[in-house]
Amino acid sequence: MPNECLLPESFGPLQGVKIVSTGSLIAQPFAAELAAEMGAEVIQIERVGVGDTGWRNIGIRLPARDGAPPVATTWVQERRNVFCVTLDFSKPRGKEIFLELAARADIWMESSKPGTYPKWGLDDATVWEVNPKLVITHVSGFGQDGDPDYVARASYDVVGQAAGGMMYQTGFPDPTPPTRAAPWTGDYITALFTMWSSLAGLTYARATGKGQAIDVAQYEAIHKTMGGTMLEYFQQGVVRERSGNRAQGFQPLDTFQAKDGWVVMGALADVYKRLLGVIGLDANDAKWEIARTQLESIEGIEFDAILRGWINERSVKEVVDAMAKGKVPCSPIMSSRDMAEDPQYRARGVHVEWDDLQVGRVKGIGVVPKFSKTPGQIVRGAVGVGHDNGRVYGELLGISTSELASLQRDKVI
């Protein structure tokens, strides 16, 4: 008798939600993992024999148990609570197995170039035949339709940042080249759009009994976060340029060097007057109001020099403490070491330990955000390629042990 629940316990606000995830690397699978940490049952499908060759191996790797290949730290951090199986969609039995999984799911998330799944006979209409309520979320670089040249293009995080407008504004003015936002900001933005839109689709499906397809284009998700950039262009012909860490049109909002490190600080409206008091300037002196918005004026240049000199004479802690006392937003620019030792990170329990099934006991970023009544949990760590084939295909779908062995021999799973 098939077991309809893979999770050992129910928890979190998404308990009872079943997600099939078939993407690789970052954006779409990260969205699914966020759901898994909040109690959704997530089945991640990877390539037979090799898995997600990119995200399992890219970057710094940790030694695995029992002489297994090392595992990337990003995989250990970002595949918790997820059930990992392998499946070849291009084979007839692989297609059948996928449809059996889709029939039991609430959401199917995938990331690929448009046309990938239809060529395997898994177009949306076919999948809806087995589950009309299914929410299907397609994630791609440039969308499911539009200019044929763009639709066919592959994309990575940095490509999305460039096409979406983020990279043009990130970094310092020419001749310094545009800079990507690190570590993989474009992909993580896309993941958040993927997750909220999937849940919005699920809300509709549960109310109406009707699933729908969601088209998440990476460049559009990034573009959506560009604030007034396009309004400025369409209404006034203004192209917003790079300005480094400094804000355009007012000060201060920038990075500043203290005696032993860097801080970031901003002071708008009434906060600006409080900052003047902290650094010993007269808030009633009209020239400092000129300095606030006319950055290249004599007054603006003088204010910037005074502020930088005041900060440079003090330690990071002295600057941050003085600004906190004066209610001026300010923070050290923190490294991994700084964050690990920071009292606020510790007080809120941001960093936690858990058992990873591949590398053992680890410590990293916990579950966020925090829910008062249905908090998320880490019920298990990341796993190896095909680790859950037997459990998912055997327990959930009821496939016999002998057939599982045959499917493995034929490289269907």
Catalytic residues: 187
Cα 329 to chain center, whole Å? 25
* DSSP reduced 3-state for 80: coil
Residues with Cβ < 8 Å from 330, sequence gap 6 or more? 263, 264, 265, 266, 319, 320, 323, 324
CA 160 – CA 217 distance, rounded (Å): 9
Intra-chain end-to-end CA distance of the chain, in Å: 21
Containing 41, the helix (H) or strand (E) segment is strand 41-46
Tokens of 182: 């690190």
CA 170 – CA 240 distance, rounded (Å): 11
Contact 50/89 with Cβ under 8 angstroms?
no
Give Dmax over CA atoms of the chain in angstroms: 85
CA angle 411, 22, 379 (to 5 degrees): 100
CA 407 – CA 396 distance, rounded (Å): 16
Cα 17 to chain center, whole Å? 20
* DSSP reduced 3-state for 255: strand
Residues with Cβ < 8 Å from 51, sequence gap 6 or more? 84, 86, 384, 385, 386
The radius of gyration computed from the CA coordinates of the chain, to the nearest angstrom, equals 25
Report which DSSP code applies to 119: G
Contact 191/221 with Cβ under 8 angstroms?
no
Of 159, 182, 187, which is closest to residue 171 (Cα–Cα)? 182
Tokens of 230: 């396009």
Angle between helix axes 286-293 and 298-312 (nearest 10 degrees) is 90
Contact 134/107 with Cβ under 8 angstroms?
yes
